[in-house]
Amino acid sequence: MNYPTLAIQRQGAILVVTLNRPEVLNAINTQMGHDLYGLWTLLAAEPGDTRCVVLTGAGERAFCAGGDLKERDGMAQATWQAQHGLFERGFTALMELPLPVIAAVNGHAYGGGLETALACDFIYAARGARFALSEVRLGIMPGGGGTQNLPRAVGERRAKELILTARPFSAEEGAAWGLVNKVCDNPLEEALATAKAIAENAPLSVRQAKKSIHYGLQTDLLTGYRFEIEAYNRLVDTEDRHEGVRAFNEKRKPVFKGK
């Protein structure tokens, strides 16, 4: 896992991924687009021992400032659309990643930076962090899932207000609206503690539960429930299910193997 724009660190079963272009507030350029898409695709196909991912940004000022507008300055339409196609594949791969991903938003998250955080499963944010989907000020609009994920997080009316005005909002406002799970002094530390708790659980169960929530919310209640039962039944004959019940009865901590 050697990527020019990402710093990768393993802490046991937790993979810490850092957007690593602090000199430009971790803005997403074409290389970072390739790196993120490659990483999410690899983890989906070959998670190995990884049970949870924490995504953060380098430096203290920003999680991610969005798309790299200096790289885009003067970019031809065909090149722009090809680059955006790469970004689209990356956002989709992140949203569909079976592993849980926690965004540890260490600073400001604008445009594609906020969309990246929204594509994660949940968000811990630093006090003083600012958020915005400011694309309409640039003559474009959110194109990384922002018009879909933001209303799912804060509701349709609030999302319309935020996207159409392009106004920034605080981490504390985001928490009050349901976008941010927790505002804290050290979001990376808090995210790692939660990732550790997740990683101690049965990995197949965690992935099936995430999948059930993710896809169930895209359909009606009974269809979602049927999806849940299909996901549930796939766990009944796993080694981890047998180990979990056995460990409970033996009053010990289970040893899950993801099998």
- pLDDT tens sequence across 103-115: 999 999 999 999 9
CATH number of 203-249: 1.10.12
Q: What is the pTM of this model?
A: 0.94
Among residues 71, 135, 172, 228, the one annotated as catalytic is 135
pLDDT at 201: 94
106: helix, strand or coil = coil
CA distance 107 to 105: 6
Q: 219 is written with which tokens?
A: 């359909």
Pick the CATH number of 6-199 from 3.90.230.10, 3.90.226.10, 3.30.479.30, 3.20.20.60: 3.90.226.10
Please tell me the distance from the alpha carbon of residue 243 to that of residue 86, in angstroms, as a whole number: 42
Low-confidence ranges of the chain (pLDDT < 50): none
Sketch the domain layout of the chain as residue ranges: 6-199, 203-249
6-199 shares its CATH topology with 203-249? no
Residue 164 in contact with residue 136, Cβ under 8 Å?
yes
pLDDT tens across 41-73, in order?
999 999 999 999 999 999 989 999 999 989 988
From 88, 115, 189, 243, the catalytic residue:
115
At residue 223, the pLDDT reads 95
The residue to which tokens 């106004």 are assigned: 167
**Can 115 be counted among the known catalytic residues?**
yes
- Nearest-angstrom CA–CA distance, 196 and 116: 22
